[in-house]
Amino acid sequence: MADELPKPEPRVDVTDVPLLRIEGVTKKFGVFRAVDRLSLDIRAGEFFALLGPSGCGKTTLLRMLAGFETPDQGRILLNGRDIAQVLPHRRPVNMMFQNYALFPHLTVRENIAFGLKRAGMPRSEIEKRVAGLVALLKLQGMEKRRPDQLSGGQKQRVALARALARQPQVLLLDEPLAALDKKLRESTQLELMELQRRLRMTFIIVTHDQEEAMTVAHRIGVMDNGRLEQVATPRELYEAPNSRWIAEFVGDVNMFEGQVSSREAGRLTISTRDAGTIVAAEPRQPTPKAAVCVAIRPEKVKLARRGPASDSVNSRAINRLEGIVTDVSYLGGLTTYKVKLDTGAVVRSSMANTARLEFDSYMASQRVVAWFTPDDCVVLEQ
């Protein structure tokens, strides 16, 4: 059944021409710039996530792709054609709405078939397409129900089926899972990925949930104040944030401000007020300024009762911070610790509970050494 479903024709020049090119797009509401001179390329078959705090402009951008808002400046090229001024019903793009926006007066079948009827598809073909989508999204037996007779998860799947029915070149998803509870959300994320992989369709999802973005997307664009702060794979975003804001927005981080005191052989020595001298690997793009901050993810900070056994190559470089454990949170898979350094600053560490018995655990008020290697540090401009 699923084989009859949306399968975009193979495209030529996939590598060179992006499917969707956003060029210097600006959208103002009064004097407020919701989207500010934003440019972005999205490749065919990509699962792209727009991530950002509320009010960052990600939904406005998505609505401009759907055609509900018109950019004040800039172009939106889909397969090379500028669609910035094209009305929503004339765009080969479909959207899954945040609260699903299912038609309450129509059955599940009629909701899914809505867009196909508008396209003037013959009846028999509509039947076939709807049946395929019903099977794909496991909606068998629900065809005659109305939206208010469905659970949240079922509504979500109907909305997805309806948006997929027209085999859009780009599927837009506006916070598609926000209304689901955590467990269902996680399983639905996996289903979404599976679906996207199978249909080889281009998905653009808007979300404020970074875990969701990291789970489903190939690439993530992080937005703030109407601009893209960074566009990167989930791993890059987490391990190599390009700004302090990104480092703090995505995941947890320990942040120390300081001055670069020496540079040598790919190593920076940074003197900080809170954590003494930190030796960090030189970032890929060297920071010209002396005032920097050092970001270290909590899981990169390891705790030890004594200093770690000195290793002949790196011993000089390993960063050690001494302090007292003040807080222990056991979360099952990991335990997070807060360590109050002798300087008064707090360092967070999270460690995987790899052994069932308490070999490696630390107690509050225990004196420990928190250590990390130069490669664990990300040096950013302040």
Partner 1 sequence: MSSRRTFTRPGRIAAIAPYLWLALFFLVPFGFVLKISLSQTAIAQPPYLPVFDLTQGWEAIKPALAALSLDNFRLLISDNLYALSYLRSLFVAAVSTSILLVIGYPIAYGMARLPRRWQAVAMMLVIVPFWTSFLIRIYAWINILQHDGLLNQVLLALHLVSAPVVWLSTDSAMYLGIVYSYLPFMILPLYATLAKIDPALLEAAGDLGSSPRQAFWQVTFPLSWPGIGAGVLLCFIPIVGEFVIPDLLAGSNSMMIGQTLWLEFFTNKDWPVASAAAVVLLLLLLAPLTFYDRLQRRQLEGAR
Give me the least distance between CB of 150 and partner 1, in Å please: 12
Measured from the CB atom, is 103 or 330 closer to partner 1?
103
Q: How far is the CB of 29 from partner 1 (least distance, A)?
A: 14
CB of 188 to partner 1, least distance (A): 20
Query: Taking each helix axis from N to C terminus, what angle separates 152-164 and 108-118, rounded to the nearest 10 degrees?
Result: 20
The HSE-up count of residue 27 (CA atoms within 13 Å, CB side) is: 26
* CB of residue 344 to partner 1, shortest distance in Å: 51
> How does DSSP assign 347-380, residue by residue?
EEEEEE--SSSSSS---TT-EEEEEE-GGG-EEE
Identify the three-state secondary structure at position 231.
strand
CB of 172 to partner 1, least distance (A): 9
Which residues in this chain contact partner 1 in the complex, by CB under 8 A?
Answer: 66-68, 87-89, 93-95, 97-99, 101-105, 114-115, 118-119, 146, 148-149, 162-163, 165-166
Shorter beta-carbon distance to partner 1: residue 5 or 171: 171
- Decide the pairing of beta strands 73-78 and 277-281: unpaired
Q: How many residues does the chain have?
A: 382
Given the complex with partner 1, which of 164 and 278 has the nearer CB atom?
164
Nearer to partner 1, 165 or 214 (CB): 165
Q: Is the Cβ of residue 36 or residue 174 nearer to partner 1 in the bound state?
A: 174
CB of 116 to partner 1, least distance (A): 9
Closer CB to partner 1, 98 or 269, in the complex: 98
Contacts 24+ apart (CB under 8 A), 39-43: 39/74, 39/228, 40/221, 40/228, 40/231, 42/18, 42/170, 42/202, 42/204, 43/14, 43/18, 43/19, 43/202
As beta bridge partners, residue 93 has 170
